[in-house]
Amino acid sequence: MSSTQRIVAKISKSRRFSSSPSPSSSQTAREQLWVRRCRLLDASRGLMDCNSQSSTKKRPLPIFPLEARHFGGYDHQQHTAPDTQSSLAPNTPKEFHKRLCTMIRNAKKRVRIASLYVGPATSNKDDCEETEFLGALSEIVNRNHANGGVSGVNSGDENSRVSVKILLDENRALRPVPIVHPVDNDQANSKTTTSSAEAVARAIEGDSLSGKASSSSSLHLFRVLPPTTIFGRNWLPNPVDEIAGVFHIKIYIVDDQLLLSGANLSREYFCDRMDRYLHLVDGANGLVDFYAELVEILCRHSNKYQLSAAVSDDAIQQNRRRNNDEFLREITHHFQDSNPNSASVASTRDLFAREEKKQKIVAVAVPTFQAPAGYFRQKDAKKKSIAREFSVNWSTFWSLFRIDQQPADKVNFVTDIEATLNLLREAGRLNRTNDGCRYSVQLSSAYLNPTTSLLSVVKEGFRNVELLTAGKISHGFKPKKKDCKEGSQGTDWTIPSVFDKLVDECMRFLRTTIPATGADTKPICCTNARLFFWERPNWTFHAKGIWMTEKDREIESSESEVAAVVVGSSNFGYRSFCRDMESNLLLVFPPPTIDDGASPNNDKTLRIARSFGDEWKSLLSSSKPEVMDTDKNGAVRSEESAEQPPPLPWPILKSIPYIKSFF
């Protein structure tokens, strides 16, 4: 019996919402509201039988019930949220930078960082934020050295050492970055380039020239791509190799605090690149340790970077051959609920509502993981041969273009794609079977290119859909100015123009009506699909996530409330689903309750959930709605958005169906 079935049985035996023996229709509607939230949580974990796509039932994902005190910025003394988004603090890139640096400087036990890359601070003038971040890391290592952190020295100070592990994408971390020397620097430009990996390695070496002070600190590089070397040469050189797939997970842990975001660790993400941030504290009921162990697993199956002896391509491939099978076993075990009888544990509602009000659960967190398509099927020959090397690389080459057509890896844990689609699919099913409730979905992506599977689930289940992406003046790949050196920005309009075409295809798909067939009585179409473009002068947009709101028309004075959100690294496109390694966190919120006649506005659950809704509203406040074809003639364009990209050349237009999986 699933947890949803158990809660339905309990509701039929006992009326918990009122002491009256005959509950009103509004009370019955509230009971059904509880059931629907339980179904959303069960579905996202993989517990719903209808969501099982294979004959072998997968173990469900682990869950972590969260209290209000676990959300950073929440006033633990007054049990209030002073302003609308305080539970999501930090809220801006500068706050993110300040909070992260402060957390690192005050670290007592551990620092675990997983990101795409770290800014190397190549210019003292423009990269003060990157310099400060690297300096915070250096402070820890120097403090370890001062406290006896050298291996084998002053072992009595072992507890005073802070363990530092940093995990970056191998390709991006090794990308050469030009060194910009200050004008007044008389030092000869003997070295003209550096890299993210080199900058971090120097920071965590501390003041010790021998490097022994870094015995408790290490830098690891994770390689996502299959073999791309033949006859000793890489046929997919940097930075082209990043197009084929990267390690895209972003996890920032200091002691018992966790910052989840889509932001990387470079100047633009610390200054003027809009993103999302979720700050969890006090261990988050074991969730912080869970993510820390995930970083440990990833580090064990990556390559340790050392300035004195950089890892060669041969060593990288040897490491992959040795660890790939073990990596799958460890990840599978980590993302399975530890309870072998998980489907018959206490009901989902019992997780949400404990008897002690001080321990009231305000959200249940479900962490997810996604590897690139075919990643766990990659096998290397034990003995090298030219024929085998050519065969493996030929297979790799063609798989890059057919990756979206590859079958899913046969893994025994619920993947991020499955969890996300299960959540949306269950909400859509409830929309179709219950006229009293209505779920709406909002999706944000800096690079909007949803997969057909995601769009199909959204189109079949939701009437109200809102999509948010970067506008022209705030696109991450907008042509950069001559004095701008951010590596993430483009040099021409090609990539933004390709995304324009992909967004147009997405909206046409959602708005096209499919005639009803079989038992269906209604045509399939998102009757209210709206598109917004985030634009702010001199800023770029990088926020990604999913918000799901619910409105019950059978409950008097019911307002739309946030039922679930997805926070993490995924852009929900073909790259995220097929090419990159991702991790998200699903949060399912209990419905608001009214106890002893109290106002729902005083409910902690409601305030935490609404802070996520306010986050979406804040993003829309800097956005412009899509200009429909019928309005284009009368549209008045602002001076900032007057710059229009040239039309795409016809070869690129014709190739979009074949290259869309790279975006």
| Per-residue pLDDT reduced to its tens digit, 487-497 | 455 556 788 88
Q: Do 540 and 476 meet the contact criterion of CB atoms below 8 Å apart?
A: yes
At a CB cut-off of 8 Å and minimum separation 6, what does 617 contact? none
132 and 234, same domain (yes or no): yes
pLDDT at 650: 80
Q: Choose between 226 and 443: higher pLDDT.
A: 443
CB neighbourhood size of 481 (10 A): 9
- Same domain for 54 and 70, yes or no, is no
Question: Distance of alpha carbon 414 from its chain centroid, rounded?
Answer: 16
pLDDT of residue 27: 65
Residue 5 has pLDDT above 60, yes or no: no
Model confidence pLDDT, tens digit, residues 68-78? 999 987 544 44
d(CA 26, CA 29): 5
Report the alpha-carbon distance of residue 654 to residue 278 in Å, rounded: 40
In this prediction, residue 195 carries a pLDDT of 93
Please determine, for residue 188, whether its predicted confidence score (pLDDT) is greater than 60. Answer: no
Mean pLDDT in residue range 295-309: 88
Residue 51 confidence (pLDDT): 45
Q: Please, which pLDDT band fits residue 125 given cuts at 50, 70 and 90?
A: low
Beta-bridged to residue 219, according to DSSP, are 166
| Average pLDDT of the residues of the chain | 79
Q: Tokens standing for 238? A: 């940097």
Q: How confident is the model at residue 158 (pLDDT cuts 50, 70, 90)?
A: low
Verify that 407 and 420 share a domain, yes or no: yes
pLDDT at residue 441 above 70?
Answer: yes
**Looking at residues 259-286, what average pLDDT do you find?**
96
Q: Which residue has the tokens 């500068």?
A: 94
Query: Looking at 212-216, 260-264, 376-380, 598-602, which range is the least confident one?
Result: 598-602
* Selection from 443, 449, 495 nearest residue 472 by Cα: 495
pLDDT of residue 338: 82
| pLDDT mean over 567-572 | 96
**Of 303, 336, 369, which marks where a domain is finished?**
336
Say if CB 542 and CB 273 are below 8 A apart: yes
499 vs 447: CA distance, rounded Å: 7
Q: Do 174 and 38 share a structural domain?
A: no
pLDDT at 108 over 50: yes
Given a cut of 60, whether residue 369 has pLDDT beyond it is: yes
Matching residue, tokens 């947009």? 541
For 487-560, strand residue ranges (E) read: 528-534, 540-541, 545-552
Apex CA 197: angle with CA 496 and CA 133, to 5°? 85
Q: How many helical (H) and strand (E) elements, i.e. helices and strands, does the chain have? A: 18, 22
Torsions phi, psi for 505 (to 5 deg): -60, -40
User: In a 3-state reduction of DSSP, which class is residue 618?
Assistant: helix
Parallel, antiparallel or unpaired: strands 540-541 and 273-274: parallel
Sign of CA dihedral 252, 258, 261, 265: negative
In this structure, the answer to whether residues 305 and 411 fall within a common structural domain is no
Determine, yes or no, domain membership for 345.
no
Name the more confident of 510 and 522.
510
Do residues 507 and 479 touch, judged by C-beta distance below 8 A? Answer: no
| Residue 343 resides in a domain | no
Kindly report which listed range (158-162, 170-174, 656-660) carries the lowest average pLDDT score: 158-162
Q: Is beta strand 584-588 parallel, antiparallel or unpaired with respect to 464-470?
A: unpaired
Beta bridge partners of 273: 540
Q: Is there a contact between 480 and 486 (Cβ–Cβ < 8 Å)?
A: yes
* Position with higher pLDDT, 32 vs 442: 442
Tell me whether residue 344 is in a domain.
Answer: no
Q: Which range scores top for mean pLDDT: 244-248, 563-567, 637-641?
A: 563-567
Top-ranked range on mean pLDDT: pick from 228-232, 296-300, 560-564, 636-640: 296-300
Average confidence (pLDDT) over 34-54? 79
Q: Is residue 282 part of a domain?
A: yes
Tokens 């949060």 belong to which residue? 587
Burial of 424 (0-12, 13-18, 19+ CB in 10 A): buried
Number of C-alpha atoms within 13 angstroms, CB side, residue 134?
Answer: 25
Q: In whole angstroms, what is the distance from residue 343 CA to residue 49 CA?
A: 11
Question: What was the pLDDT predicted at 31?
Answer: 80
In a domain, 17, yes or no: no
Checking phi first, is residue 389 left (phi over 0); if not, alpha (psi -120 to 50) or beta? alpha
Spell out the residues 6+ positions from residue 10 whose beta carbon is closer than 8 angstroms to its own: 347, 349
In the numeric block, the tokens 């162990």 are attached to 293
Q: Does residue 645 surpass a pLDDT of 90? A: no
Checking if the pLDDT of 208 tops 60, the result is no
Gap between the Cα atoms of 67 and 80, Å rounded: 13
Instruction: For residue 44, give both structure tokens.
Output: 């996202």
The answer to whether the beta carbons of residues 2 and 60 sit under 8 Å apart is no
In a shared domain, residues 256 and 242 = yes
Determine whether 586 is exposed, middle or buried from the number of CB atoms within 10 Å of its CB (0-12, 13-18, 19+).
Answer: buried
Backbone angles phi, psi at 75, to 5 degrees: -75, 105
pLDDT at 455 over 50: yes
Q: Token digits for 164?
A: 């530092």
Out of 115-119, 185-189, 534-538, 562-566, pick the least confident: 185-189
Query: What DSSP designation does 443 have?
Result: E
199 vs 183, more confident: 199
29-55 mean pLDDT? 78
Q: For 598-624, how does the pLDDT look when each residue is reduced to its tens digit (9 = 90+)?
A: 455 556 668 899 999 999 999 999 999
Question: Which has the minimum average pLDDT: 125-134, 419-428, 443-452, 477-486?
Answer: 477-486
* 535 in the same domain as 386: yes
Residue 409 lies in a domain: yes
CB neighbour list of residue 344: distance below 8 Å, 6 or more residues apart? 1, 3, 6
Q: Phi and psi at residue 562, in whole multiples of 5°? A: -70, 125
CB 90 within 8 A of CB 257: no
Same domain, 325 and 446: no
Same domain, 575 and 607: yes
Q: What is the dihedral of CA 473, 475, 476, 480, to 10 degrees?
A: -30
pLDDT at 202: 93
45 with 71, same domain: the answer is: no
What distance in Å separates the CA atoms of residue 64 and residue 359, rounded to the nearest whole number? 13
pLDDT band of residue 443 (cuts 50, 70, 90) is very high
Residue 15 within any structural domain of the chain: no
Q: Answer yes or no: do 628 and 479 share one domain.
A: yes
Q: Do 71 and 136 have their domain in common?
A: yes
DSSP strand pairing (545-552 vs 437-444) = antiparallel
Task: Encode pLDDT of 517-544 as tens digits.
Answer: 555 556 666 668 999 999 999 999 999 9
- Host domain of residue 470: 32-63+360-662
Q: Report the distance separating Cα 503 and Cα 481, nearest Å.
A: 25
Beta strands in 272-346 (DSSP E): 273-274, 277-280, 303-304
Q: Does 6 fall in a domain? A: no
Instruction: Evaluate whether 479 touches 494 at the Cβ level (below 8 Å).
Output: no
CA atoms within 13 A on the CB side of 8: 11
Number of domains in the chain: 2
pLDDT band at 644 (very low <50, low <70, confident <90, very high): low
Q: How confident is the model at residue 21 (pLDDT cuts 50, 70, 90)?
A: very low
Residue 480, domain CATH: 3.30.870.10
pLDDT of residue 640: 44
Identify which has the larger pLDDT, 239 or 23: 239
Tokens of 228: 């791309």
State which of 276, 303, 336 marks the end of a domain. 336
Q: Which of 153-162, 183-192, 293-302, 350-359 has the highest mean pLDDT?
A: 293-302
Angle at alpha carbon of residue 560, lines to 348 and 12, rounded to 5°: 35
Domain boundary among 285, 303, 336: 336
